[in-house]
Amino acid sequence: MTEPKLKLGVNVDHVATLRQARGTDYPSVVDAALACEAAGAHGITIHLREDRRHIQDADVYAVREQIQTRLNLEMANHPAIVEIALEVRPDEVCLVPEKRAELTTEGGLDVAGNLNALLDPVRRMREAGIVVSMFIDPDPAQIQASATLGAPCIELHTGAFCDLPTDQRGPELERLVAGARQAHALGLQVNAGHGLNLDNLAGIFDVPFMHTLNIGHSIVSHAVMVGMEAAVTSMLDAMVPYTGERG
């Protein structure tokens, strides 16, 4: 398999969703993460939500202990979860908005509107050696605020692009391209994710400077049919054609 320019972080939250649906101890989130690594994933992403609807605290510690690649912990700016992050020390945290009623993360974090509230947790996590990323819409004010905050990375929310019919995605693609260029000019690493699958992935290949794609639901769904390693391999193969500008 040709190594893609893009890195792949696999989100295994929905393995835990399946487990929690019946209150069993299977399927194992750790086993899923290890299968992703075996297939060539560059990192594992898990989201410890305040409502603990899928990933549990024990999963975070177990995955951190067992995987050999990077751990990206998605989390809201909630004091108890900040403390867990500081104890676990994942390689990266991605701060996201969170609402209890949502099925999944519905949009980017309002960094600009919450700058003061974010300053201390971001400082504490960076002092602990954790790379901090902001999950944001491709909005100029949010990108600038992320840089002002001192976060070295952003993750561009691709959900709006993915939710549109193919022939209506042009303006949203332009926003993503402009956002990636702005972020790169500010010295930020550009990651992206949300809603990406094998059918729409190539649609974002015009976005420059992308470093890592974090993809979960579509890979786990595909894995139900073909197995986790095959599902991850398929996504990695689909990422190979990306030739976007790199910093």
Query: Which residues carry out catalysis?
Result: 47, 74, 194
Alpha helical stretches, state H, 186-227: 217-226
Residue type at position 234:
S
Residue found by looking up tokens 């995605």 in the block: 169
Q: Which long-range contacts (CB under 8 A, 24 or more apart) does 50-55 make?
A: 50/76, 50/78, 50/80, 50/81, 50/98, 50/100, 51/100, 53/17, 53/20, 54/13, 54/14, 54/16, 54/17, 54/20, 55/13, 55/16, 55/29
DSSP state for residue 50 in the 8-state scheme: T
Residue found by looking up tokens 């019946």 in the block: 22
Task: Please give the Cα distance from 209 to 245 (Å, whole number).
Answer: 5
| Element housing 115 (H / E) | helix 115-127
Task: Please give the Cα distance from 39 to 32 (Å, whole number).
Answer: 11
- The distance of Cα 126 from the centroid of its chain, to the nearest Å, equals 18
Task: Please give the Cα distance from 237 to 191 (Å, whole number).
Answer: 18
Task: Please give the Cα distance from 20 to 14 (Å, whole number).
Answer: 9
